[in-house]
Amino acid sequence: MSDLRQAQLAALTGRPALVVVDVQNSFASAEVQAAVDVIAGLVDAARDSGVPVVWVGLGSDPERPWKTSAWLRQGDPDAPYGPDEPCVLGTPGAEWHRVSPAPGEIIVVKRAYSGFLGTPLEVLLRQEGIGWLAVCGLTTECCVAATATDACQLDWPVLIPHDATAAYEEALHEAALTQLALNVAVLTDAAELTRIWKGASA
């Protein structure tokens, strides 16, 4: 372990939280299933260690469409939702995929990439006295990256377990991790993160 990494991990103080991003049916392609397996184990490990699990999910609302997304994907900001629109509220696509919140765990519904944009996530984390975050979920280059970046900008140290995130292409996943490690977070894996949690709760 490098001196910098040792210092980074040693400086983690306060209560940790695990933020699970967009593990929903709309994003549950075959390419991400191995990461979902790891995420499920991490959720169990967090609960066993007394680490709060925070759930962030996309909720696409036909009554309040994200016009910039429609413009970017279809060239028309006023395009109506089609059958491929992900995570439309009230549909099976928006439901959790193979993992789900336990009673009392924080759930935040977002309408864009970041779990912090236009949601109460920052306030809820501060009310819980959270000192640092581990961010996992789907997909690495999109909503995981956006949520982790905002967490860093809001002054939370962020760890990203690389085996508990995924993209639909491995090269995209690796490129996103490289960028996140440069500017946003310390990369880890599920096994190391679990050891850190157990050490923090010892």
pLDDT in tens, 48-99: 999 999 999 999 999 999 999 999 999 999 999 988 999 999 999 999 999 9
The question of whether 152 is a catalytic residue gets the answer: no
Give yes or no for residue 1 having a pLDDT over 90.
no
User: What Cα–Cα distance (Å) separates residue 127 from each residue in 101, 124, 164, 165?
Assistant: 19, 5, 26, 27
| Rounded average pLDDT over 175-192 | 98
> What integer pLDDT is reported at residue 201 of this predicted model?
59
Q: What would the pLDDT profile of 81-94 be if each residue is shown by its tens digit?
A: 988 999 999 999 99
Helix residue spans in 75-144 (DSSP H): 121-127
Question: Over the stretch 148-174, which tens digit does the pLDDT of each residue have?
Answer: 999 999 999 999 999 999 999 999 999
Instruction: Please name each of the domains of the chain with its CATH number.
Output: 3-201 (3.40.50.850)
Question: Which of the following is catalytic: 87, 136, 142, 143?
Answer: 143
d(CA 19, CA 78): 32
∠ CA(138), CA(176), CA(114), 5° rounding? 50
